[in-house]
Amino acid sequence: MKIENSSKDMSKSDDFSASTNKNRQSSPNLKEISSRFIDPSPDMDKRDFIKKVLNGAIAGSLFLVFPMSTPGGGNFEKNSTLKDGVSTFDPTIELPEEIPGIRDQNYDIHKHNFAFIVDITRCIGCGSCCVADKREYNVPDGNYRTWVERYVKDFDDQVYVDCPNGGLDGYQKPRDDIPIGTRDTFFVPKLCNMCKEAPCVQVCPVGATFLSPDGFVLVDSDRCVGCAYCIQACPYSVRFIHPVTKTVEKCTWCYHRVRRGLLPACVEVCPTGARKFGSLNDENSEVYKILKGPGVLTVLKQSMGTLPALYYMGQRLEVV
């Protein structure tokens, strides 16, 4: 088995590169220089006067402009939740509920149970889940909370796996480096497996990563010391050290969205329904019906005994 990670340049529209702080460093020096230059000048009063007049003129013109632009245009005004000019943010109106039974009552952390199902037969490798994930968390370049792998199998049963830029750019071209004809090609989305017996939780020396009572493996970035022991322990390679905070980050199944009754960002944007998420307390949810039904569901690396809560449908033998 051969694994390649060729890194491509990202598309220009999705440029998330961290801003350099060169500008910030240079600004105080400039101020000092300019003040030194201005102070001894004899025309200080005149300059001040002109400055004040200009500021007044600008402020006055802004007052004329602002009241016209504030009400907003088009049909936006009709639906906005404005009362007496003060914006009142009502998340229930702005964001329609997608997972029932979370917003209504007080969230009892011990009574909730969720499942994530990935349907490999429906994945088309568009990479919208990867883009959504990067946007939701501002994931630094080169690190991936979720990614989509492409498996190619030729007629000699040789398996080729590649994942250019984590699938962020999608798969635009077929692989042309396979000498024999390809027998089968498919995409496999990967994300945190939310193991019930998580190896990463066992090895954390400071209790920074844990399995919450509602079944999410989360990271407490305040406690994390960045020892990267959990990165070695995770059999699914979903963890990475954030280059800025130097603490561990991982896929959380968008815990902040779930607690607000919304689907994870990757499930939200998946056009084909390859990623499914839902509450197991809700008998009408798609996930509940699949888990209750007769279809074959598998998990990754079952022999590791990690008991993942992430299930795969249509899983093939080659997938590791």
Question: What is the closest distance, in whole angstroms, from the C-beta atom of residue 107 to other proteins in the complex?
Answer: 9
By CB under 8 A, the residues from 236 to 275 that bind other proteins are: 252, 255-257, 259-260, 262-263, 265, 268-273
The closest alpha carbon to 188, from 159, 161, 150, belongs to: 150
The contact mask relative to other proteins for 64-103 (x = CB under 8 A, - = no) is: --------x-xxx--xxxx----xxxx--xxxx-x-----
Q: Which residue has the tokens 């010391």?
A: 225
For other proteins, the closer CB: 175 or 301: 175
Q: Nearer Cβ to other proteins, position 56 or 72?
A: 72
* φ, ψ for residue 113, nearest 5 deg: -150, 125
154 contacts other proteins (rule: CB under 8 A): no
54 vs 109 by CB, closer to other proteins: 109
User: Per-residue string for binding with other proteins, 297-316, x by CB under 8 A?
Assistant: --------------------
Q: Which is nearer to other proteins, 48 or 77 (CB)?
A: 77
For other proteins, the closer of residues 29 and 79 by Cβ is: 79
Applying CB under 8 A, among 185, 247, 281, 298 the residue interacting with other proteins is 185
User: 118 has which bridge partners?
Assistant: 275, 312
* CB 62, min distance to other proteins, A: 17
Nearest to 147 by CA among 11, 5, 313, 279: 5
List the structure tokens of 273: 């329904």
Q: Which of 99, 163, 192, 208 binds other proteins (CB under 8 A)?
A: 208
Using CB under 8 A as the binding rule, the residues of this chain from 19 to 38 that contact other proteins are none
Nearest approach, Cβ of residue 176 and other proteins (Å): 10
Q: Do the Cβ atoms of 187 and 153 come closer than 8 Å?
A: no
CA distances to 184, 266, 275, 319 from 161, rounded to whole Å, are 12, 22, 21, 9
Q: Which is nearer to other proteins, 21 or 87 (CB)?
A: 87
Could you tell me the CA-to-CA distances from 43 to 47, 51, 57 in Å, in that order? 6, 12, 21
Cβ within 8 Å of residue 202, ≥6 positions away: 233
**C-alpha to C-alpha distance for 219 and 216, rounded to whole angstroms:** 10
Give the CA-trace dihedral at 295, 298, 303, 305, to 10 degrees. -90
Minimum gap (Å) between residue 16 Cβ and other proteins: 12
Pairwise CA distance, residues 127 & 169, whole Å: 7
Residue 15 one-letter amino acid: D
CA atoms within 13 A on the CB side of 268: 20
- Residue closer to other proteins (CB basis): 242 or 259: 259
Least CB distance to other proteins at residue 85 (A) = 11
Length of the chain: 320
Smallest distance from the beta carbon of 187 to other proteins, in angstroms?
A: 6
List of E strands, 131-227:
147-154, 159-162, 182-190, 209-211, 217-219
* Residues contributing to the site for other proteins (CB under 8 A): 13, 72, 74-76, 79-82, 87-90, 93-96, 98, 109, 121-122, 124-128, 131-132, 135-137, 150, 170-174, 182, 185-187, 207-213, 216, 218-220, 222-223, 252, 255-257, 259-260, 262-263, 265, 268-273
